[in-house]
Amino acid sequence: MSNLTADWRDRPTHRRVWALAAPMILSNISVPLVALVDSTVIGHLPHAHQLGAVAVGASLYTFLAWAMGFLRMGTTGFAAQAAGRRDGAALRQILLQGLLLAMGLAVLLGILGVPLSGVALHFMQPSAELDQLTREFFHTRLLGLPAALATYALVGWFLGTQNARAPLAILLTTNLINIVLNLWFVIGLDWGVAGSARASVVAEWCGALLGLSLTARALRAYPGHIVWATLKRWGSWRPLLTVNRDIFIRSLALQSVFFLITVQGARLGDATVAANALLLNGLLLTAHALDGLAHAVEALCGHAIGARDRSALRRSLVVAGGWSLLASLGFAAGFLYAGHLFIDLQTDIPSVRSTAYLYLPYLAALPLIAVWSYLLDGLFIGATRAREMRNCMLLTVVALLPLAWLLQDLGNHGLWIAFLLFMALRSLTLGAQALRLRRDDGWFAAGAH
């Protein structure tokens, strides 16, 4: 306990954590604010299926895009360790490899996205109006996928170099443009659901182009040159691809859980899927804020591992963990006491409001349960321990499936209870794995990835 107290009282670590976390929290919160604006603008149109179309269409797009989240996470870990070694050549190679992967995957997903969305909608069994609007929204959003994936790689690389200002500029620019265009396209030009999708596409391309323009200045702090011959060798790609493969499997399993919530909610009716979307906006708000601290853990722990500094690793975890707990308590209290205002802000459709009110206690409980998985994800990403992350996620999903099956007769209550259990199991499996690695001094073992 004395070590924990001493670590918590280390003021330089608090400053380092918040130097990274504060800009990332500001930029991260802008992401769910876009979802809130989408819901608020579309939620004040006359029909529930219009809000449902944005919820389902965004879920389909998010499933594809966030499954590629390894482009950010894998890039952050390798960039952080390269920065810890002051290896400018490696930093350049990681950046270029991340961007090349982003472009290749965007083309592949663009080809597969349309038929896969048709299959998904077939299983959802939505109303005819919901089906038509969802397809229109999703097909438009696919035009922004190359920019979105490039932004993942750019943000991950900047975070690895402990540069939080560039991600702040990228994400704030993207999301503020999205908000302004959403209001203009949907309300001003009366483009409806399609206008919301078009706003997102324009904003994603603006953010990606800004990120590319900021890399030249950032690279000046790490002198070096790209060894072009190295890029032609499989060995130079293997570590990044191996880590990205494992994070991809983990992200796919995670997004499958979120997607199944949307599928099951859609089967319970347009009002239920719309209400769940509003509540999940609260989770997004919480997760993106807490992820700001998790991003600090990624960069600081990766840097400490690259420098082989055990004390810095422990202090970073203690300080970021303490602040994460305090923030999760604040979010839980906010949703418990002001949740009705949160719902009312997003829609004035009576059936959607009354449905969402019933499930607010679940939203209030989520931050306290989910916070630990966000923090531990940051540790594993910074350490490029993707294999362990993958195994923990797969174990969590396998353990959840029978529990979710037993709870399905409870309708939407069962869906939310299953989701809470998923977040709890996710934290427990990661925590057990982290303790095992600490006992075996595995965080500093060679060939961690």
**pLDDT tens digit string along 301-319?**
877 887 777 888 888 888 9
pLDDT band at 449 (very low <50, low <70, confident <90, very high): very low
In the chain, where the domains are located: 2-444
pLDDT at site 27: 65
Q: Which residues of 4-18 are buried (b: 16+ CB within 10 A; e: fewer)?
A: eeebeebeebbebbb
Q: Which residue has the higher pLDDT, 400 or 302?
A: 400
In the chain, % of residues over pLDDT 70: 86
Give residue-wise pLDDT tens across range 68-127: 777 777 788 788 777 777 777 778 888 888 898 888 888 888 888 777 777 766 666 556
Q: What tens digit of pLDDT does each residue of 407-430 get? A: 888 888 988 999 999 999 999 999
Burial 408-438 (b: 16+ CB within 10 A, else e): eeeebebbbbbbebbbbbbbbbbeebbeebe
Q: Region 432-446: what's the mean pLDDT?
A: 79
What is the rounded distance in angstroms from the CA atom of residue 153 to the CA atom of residue 69? 9
Contact 193, 54 (CB under 8 A): yes
For the chain, state the CA radius of gyration: 21
447, pLDDT greater than 60: no
Q: What is the mean pLDDT of the chain?
A: 81
* Cα angle, residue 80 at apex, residues 74 and 85 outer, rounded to 5°: 130
Question: If you average pLDDT over residues 320-345, what whole number do you get?
Answer: 91
Q: Specify the pLDDT at position 55.
A: 66
Classify residue 125 by burial, with Cβ atoms within 10 Å: 0-12, 13-18, 19+. exposed
Task: Return the higher-pLDDT residue of 384 and 29.
Answer: 384
Reply yes or no on whether the pLDDT at 396 is more than 60.
Answer: yes
26 class by beta-carbon count within 10 Å (0-12 exposed, 13-18 middle, 19+ buried): middle
